[in-house]
Amino acid sequence: MKKVIWITGAGSGIGEALAKAYNHEDHTIILSGRNKTQLESVSKNLVNPFILPLDVTKEDQINQAVSLVQSTFGKVDILINNAGVSQRATVSETTNDVGRNLIEVNFFGSVHLTKAVLPMMTNRNKGSIVAMSSAAGKFGFPLRSYYSASKHALHGFYESLSLELKDTQVHVMIVCPGRIKTDISKNALTGSGESHNQMDQGQLLGIPVEKCASKIIQGITKKKAEIYIGGNEILLIYIKRYLPFLFRLIAKRVNPK
């Protein structure tokens, strides 16, 4: 049966890789993001793309987009909340407005779109919702204060939602990527809200984005609740969980870039 797969942040990075990995004549890929030019570029490599520009911080745009998807397709089989922005600034350097923007994009953008799409899934008693968190959603890290906070918040919301949907066939999965080779560090916000515009060394040496997309799709297929994707940095999640004192010692020595 033909699936409708909606991906936000689809213009580059993990979102683009997911769109290409899901590319099949039996799938319609809805590509959302703020940069229409990027979405059009990605769509050229897809069989059945549907370009839907969207700023997830604007509730009116979300409502209009969901209405259009419902009237056009009548359903969403998989929603991947991939839109997000990172941070490269200390707490003292980050203005309150920049902090709010990070929370709006990473947390409320994901949550509001999920809530708007959810009735389409619950009415059919079928679907998958993916929340893109981060390894930084499992522990704090220097220069990531608001980013980490926004990702921590996703866990509280989506774990609660998953439990509320336990008697349905609507699946919820949280993804925690570590260092993936994308431009996330380049696009990260400085304390004043400008683009960091630098590739972190850890990001440069991260796992290929195609491998990340493959693992996400495997997780959706197997209906996993939470998955971790990355290299050795993923070990910090387990160290924080079982040996928090050791995590603090290690984190103090890790180069945040």
- Which residues have a catalytic role annotated? 147
Instruction: Copy the structure tokens of residue 108.
Output: 């409320």
CA 77 to mean position of chain CA atoms: 17
Instruction: Copy the structure tokens of residue 39.
Output: 């979405």
Q: Is the dihedral of CA 209, 83, 19, 113 positive or negative?
A: positive
Q: Which DSSP helix (H) or strand (E) runs through 248?
A: helix 244-253
DSSP string, 165-200: TTTSSEEEEEEEE-SBSSSHHHH-B-TTS-B-----
Instruction: Copy the structure tokens of residue 102.
Output: 């990070």
For 79, residues 6+ apart whose C-beta sits below 8 A from its C-beta are 6, 113, 114, 117, 121, 127, 128, 129, 130
